[in-house]
Structures are given as structure tokens and as C-alpha cells.
């Protein structure tokens, strides 16, 4: 409980002279009371609260000028402010699958776990000085439930085809759906449009400057363009086959690797040498210093050889798998070609999530990065990565130009991983 929330400070046992506790910070507590009053009495949303705090020049605990709505939601849901701090609200469990890694982190995190919520009846409550009344806290929770009903948030899963796959190539933040009403010039009525918008455009740095200015994209047009490229990609075995063949040739042309049989023989020799070294030390033929030095070097070499042996075995298995895939690509394309016509929304979503790693949105281009390399082109000697496919996949180009202002060039990027 040493991480006291906004409005409190942690007083350790050494500072208090008795048990550790939380102490109210008067300046922050005043802001907390104002936040609860705005939501519970004036029925504001978390986003509106953030705007008011910015207009009143009230910074966050870290000194940022703008507040995040998630921070506000974390404050108004915390029972500590009514005098009952909760311990054990979450627990660590098996890592959840993600469509793409968190911004700024690797695909394989150092700690492979996820955090799960614990039922409220299993919390351990601790008494702390209250900042607001229990009645106001309950009123705010009811208002949150009412806001959720009015927003009609779909909680059973994504409701847009490319949701969770799009990332801004300029700032690294994800693209999320945004709804807006526009007046139709032909009918003269308001019409609801859905756009994919970079979340970085709504974020600001410590100086209040917008972090990104990348454009928003019409969701229905981009969904159609991406699905057409995915369908043509699956129905064209040559694109996948050539990429697999390129990877296979790269494995076969690698130099500096001994054969797997030679590696196994070398590992057995090193293991035998370690055993003889132990026997020599037991017979008194080696001093302790000599034995420790030699055994350390021998174990380091053994670990290196075993890792190299494992890598070689994995590569042989991958090479065999690639050969099987190359031989089956045409049969695979023939089977799925008719099945891709007339699919429902859920089936399209599953297929896209299975083979598309991410969709990168640049200022003038949109790149589809496949988990399986779609094509292999002639390489420029000065270029280390694979080139982008130059084929445009936007079927309704004129319609896109009318809504975006500039050409939207959607291309297929090749990813090296399989």
C-alpha cells in the first residue's frame, strides 16, 4: 500500500514512529472533491472533467497540464476516497494474447504475464482518512453506470473490422474508431460516419502541444480496401510461395554452421571432458583453483554448443516445414478461393487477425504488414529490408479522394517473420 493515490501521501513506519499510514494532501484532496462533485452533482463525463481541469490550470501529480480520462475514472472508482482503501484488487495470471504489442515495448516482454481483476468480495479493506462522503461515492458510481448506458459501449468485443490492428507510423499510437455526424450534400440530412483516428491526435505533451497530426480515415472505405487485399493475397499462391522460397534459400545459403551431426559429436566430447575433469579433481590430480577455472570454461563452451545445436535443429525443422508449405500452396489457394466469397463480418475479422500483423498509417500511405511475407522482389544492394509491393489495392480511389483530400496509397509491406 506504499503507492498512495492522488490526494494522499504515504507515511512509512520510520516517519510515523508507529504503523505506516496514508495522510491527506490538502491541495490534492480539494481537487478530488471537485472531481466527485462535477460527476455526481453536475453529471459530467470524465472527458468533460479533463477539459475543466485544463481550463482551471490544475496540473496532474506529475506536473502535466492535461489529464487523461482513464486517470479520472481510476480516481472516481477508488473506494479509498470514502475511507476504505482496498488491497488485492488485482492478481497476476497467464499472459493474454494481444493483436499487437504495447507501444514502445517488444513483442516478447520480459515478464510474460497479465493482470486480472479480483471480485470485490475478495478485497482486503483497510481504513484510511476519508476525503468524500460515502453517499457521494455511491452517487458517482450510479452516474458512471448511467454514462455507460448513454454511450452504449459494446463490451463483448471489437465492433470494427480493423480495430486493434492499426498503428500510426508517425507517433506510434494506435488508431481507434471515432463517430461523427456530417450533413449530406445530396439529401440535406445528417449522416453518421465512422473514422479511424490516431489517438495521439488527442494527446498533448507537458507543454500542451498536440503529439500527432496524422489524418483520420473513413472506416468503411479502408475496411473494404484491406479486405480486398487480404482476399487477393490468399488467392494468389505465387506471392506467398515466392516469399517462402526466399526464406528457404536464405537458410540454405547460411555459412559458418557445422552440420547437426558434427555438433552432436562435439557436445558429447565436451561432456566427456567435463566428466574426466571431475574424476581428475576427485583423484587429487587438479588443485581447486585449476579445477574451477577449467570447469567454468568447459561449461561455458558446452552451453554455447548446446544452444547452437538447438538452433540448428529448429532451423532444420523450419526448413522442412517450408518445403511442405511450398508444395501445398496451390492446393491451399484452390480450396479457399470460393470460400472467401460472401463471408460474414466475424469470419472476415478472424481471417484478418490471423494473417495481418499490423496496419501502419503514414501521412500519405497505408501499409499492410502480413505475418507471412506476401512477395519477394529484387533487392537493392543498399537496402537491407524487403521492398514494399507497388500494387495499389484501393478499388474506390475517387471516393477516397473525396473524403480524404489527398491520395490514399494502400500498399502491402512484407514482414520477415513467419
Distance, CA of 131 to CA of 145 (rounded, Å)? 22
What pLDDT does 100 receive? Answer: 67
Residue 102 in this model has a pLDDT that exceeds 90:
no
Q: Is the pLDDT of residue 370 over 60?
A: yes
Distance between CA atoms of residues 373 and 357, nearest Å = 11
User: Residue 417 pLDDT > 90, yes or no?
Assistant: no
Q: How confident is the model at residue 372, as a pLDDT?
A: 60
Contact 131, 7 (CB under 8 A): yes
Instruction: Report which of 246, 249, 251 is spatially closest to residue 378, judged by C-alpha positions.
Output: 246
The closest of 222, 237, 230, 166 to 395, measured between CA atoms, is 222
Give the alpha-carbon dihedral of 282, 283, 287, 289, to 10 degrees: -20
What are phi and psi for residue 346, nearest 5 degrees? -65, -40
The residues with which 289 forms a beta bridge, in sequence order, are none
Q: Which helix (H) or strand (E) holds 192?
A: strand 190-198
Cell of 188: 440535406
Write the DSSP string, 316-361.
Answer: HHHHHHHHHHHHHHHHHHHHHHTTTTT--HHHHHHHHHHHEEEEEE
d(CA 129, CA 193): 48
Percent of the chain at pLDDT above 90?
A: 12
* pTM (whole model) above 0.85: no
Query: Please, are residues 193 and 177 in contact by the beta-carbon 8 Å criterion?
Result: no
Q: Dihedral of the CA atoms 94, 95, 96, 97 (nearest 10)?
A: -130
Model confidence pLDDT, tens digit, residues 228-273: 888 888 777 676 667 667 766 766 655 444 577 788 888 888 889 8
pLDDT at 58 over 90: yes
What radius of gyration do the chain's Cα atoms show?
A: 30
DSSP assignment letter at 252: H
CB 131 within 8 A of CB 32: yes
Q: What is the pLDDT of residue 34?
A: 94
37 within 8 A of 49, measured Cβ to Cβ = no
With 70 as the cut, is the pLDDT of residue 60 above it? yes
Q: What is the pLDDT of residue 121?
A: 84
Overall average pLDDT of the 308-335 stretch: 69
Distance CA 86, CA 80 (A): 7
Q: 406 falls in which pLDDT band (50, 70, 90)? A: very low
Is the pLDDT at 31 greater than 90? The verdict is yes
**Per-residue pLDDT, 159:** 77
pLDDT at 6: 92
**Does 413 have pLDDT greater than 50?**
no
Encode pLDDT of 105-158 as tens digits: 666 677 778 888 888 888 888 888 999 998 899 888 888 877 766 554 444 556
- The contacts of residue 324 (CB under 8 Å, 6+ apart) are none
Amino acid at each position: 500500500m506504499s503507492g498512495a493515490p492522488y490526494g494522499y501521501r504515504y507515511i512509512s513506519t520510520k516517519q510515523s514512529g508507529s504503523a505506516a499510514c496514508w495522510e491527506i494532501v490538502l491541495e490534492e484532496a480539494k481537487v478530488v472533491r471537485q472531481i466527485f462533485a462535477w460527476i455526481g452533482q453536475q453529471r459530467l463525463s470524465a472527458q468533460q472533467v479533463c477539459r475543466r481541469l485544463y481550463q482551471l490550470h490544475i496540473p496532474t501529480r506529475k506536473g502535466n497540464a492535461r489529464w487523461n480520462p482513464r486517470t479520472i475514472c481510476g480516481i472516481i472508482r477508488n473506494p479509498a476516497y470514502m475511507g476504505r482503501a482496498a488491497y488485492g484488487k488485482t492478481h497476476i495470471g497467464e499472459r493474454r494474447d494481444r493483436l499487437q504489442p504495447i507501444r514502445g515495448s517488444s513483442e516478447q516482454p520480459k515478464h510474460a504475464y497479465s493482470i486480472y481483476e479480483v471480485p470485490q468480495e475478495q478485497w482486503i479493506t483497510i481504513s484510511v482518512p476519508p476525503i468524500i462522503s460515502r453517499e457521494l461515492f455511491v452517487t458517482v458510481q450510479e452516474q458512471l453506470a448511467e454514462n455507460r448506458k448513454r454511450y452504449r459501449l459494446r463490451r463483448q468485443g471489437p465492433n470494427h473490422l480493423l480495430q486493434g490492428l492499426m498503428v500510426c507510423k508517425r507517433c506510434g499510437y494506435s488508431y481507434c474508431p471515432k463517430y461523427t455526424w456530417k450533413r449530406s450534400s445530396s439529401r440535406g440530412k445528417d449522416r453518421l460516419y465512422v473514422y479511424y483516428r490516431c489517438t495521439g491526435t488527442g494527446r498533448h505533451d507537458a507543454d500542451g502541444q498536440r503529439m500527432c497530426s496524422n489524418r483520420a480515415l473513413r472506416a468503411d472505405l479502408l475496411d473494404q480496401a484491406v479486405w480486398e487485399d487480404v482476399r487477393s493475397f490468399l488467392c494468389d499462391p505465387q506471392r506467398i510461395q515466392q516469399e517462402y522460397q526466399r526464406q528457404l534459400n536464405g537458410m540454405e545459403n547460411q555459412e559458418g554452421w557445422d552440420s547437426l551431426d558434427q555438433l552432436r559429436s562435439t557436445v558429447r566430447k565436451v561432456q566427456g571432458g567435463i566428466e574426466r575433469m571431475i574424476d581428475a579433481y576427485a583423484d587429487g590430480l587438479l588443485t581447486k583453483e585449476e579445477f574451477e577455472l577449467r570447469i567454468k570454461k568447459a561449461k561455458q563452451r558446452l552451453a554455447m554448443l548446446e544452444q547452437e545445436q538447438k538452433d540448428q535443429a529448429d532451423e532444420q525443422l523450419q526448413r522442412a516445414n517450408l518445403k511442405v508449405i511450398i508444395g501445398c500452396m496451390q492446393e491451399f489457394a484452390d480450396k479457399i478461393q470460393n470460400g472467401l466469397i460472401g463471408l460474414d463480418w466475424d469470419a472476415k475479422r478472424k481471417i484478418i487477425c490471423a494473417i495481418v500483423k499490423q496496419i501502419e498509417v503514414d501521412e500519405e500511405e497505408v501499409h499492410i504488414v502480413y505475418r507471412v511475407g506476401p512477395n519477394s522482389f529484387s533487392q537493392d544492394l543498399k537496402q537491407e529490408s524487403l521492398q514494399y509491393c507497388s500494387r495499389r489495392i484501393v478499388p474506390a480511389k475517387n471516393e477516397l479522394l473525396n473524403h480524404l483530400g489527398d491520395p490514399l496509397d494502400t500498399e502491402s509491406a512484407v514482414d520477415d517473420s513467419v
